[in-house]
A and B are shown apart, each in its own frame.
Chain A
């Protein structure tokens, strides 16, 4: 299995622009997580999907952030408009809690720089 695949790996954009991060979870996994990692705050859970349904988005910082999971093999995290304080590494992770395996497998991340 190729693991969790994220794209792009790096994104540099200007303040005010829309940014879309993409994630392909491991095939067969039914849970998907978006995290943000910064030096100041460490790893923060932004949103959790189970069976393509958003279960908990309480970690989404504000309305500028939105996430979708249109099918079991694809999810997006969108920031519109982007701000310099959104600069961070964004990780996607997937797991298969329904089978009893609760290990989260992480993608390589997207490093976002908002100028």
Chain B
């Protein structure tokens, strides 16, 4: 079984400063991991995906995430926050190939101060 813990329910940053969203996972296999973003009144959009090809994954809108197996972490970062980054972010673990149920973190709400 797999599970996901997003360590912060809410993160507030100033525009132009770095953003760090923390995610830890537990899994009995080598997982695929995702970050999704949900803007207000919108569906979930894939930011990036890790599938073991490289530990540092670059996504859309300047986001990137680093997979650290030793720490079972998959933290999401962006060097400089923009007002449009205000949204909810979900860390997600993909099940093994014989399963289909994604495991969603509880979400982190990001607010960006002008």
Contact = CB atoms under 8 A, between A and B. Distances in A.
Interface residues of B, number: 19
Contacts of B36: 106
B100 A55 contact: yes
Given A91-B43, A103-B46, A106-B43, A42 B107 contact: yes
A104 B102 contact: yes
B104 A43 contact: yes
Interface string A88-103: 0001010001000011
Contact of A106 (B45, B94, B101, B106): B45
B42 A108 contact: yes
Given A55-B100, A97-B100, A105 B46 contact: yes
A102 B31 CA distance: 12
A15 to B, nearest CB: 24
A31 interface: yes
Given A102-B32, A103-B49, A109 B107 contact: no
Interface of B: 32, 34, 36, 41-46, 49, 90, 94, 97, 100-102, 104, 106-107
The 5 closest A-B pairs by CB, nearest first: A106-B43, A106-B44, A108-B43, A43-B104, A109-B43
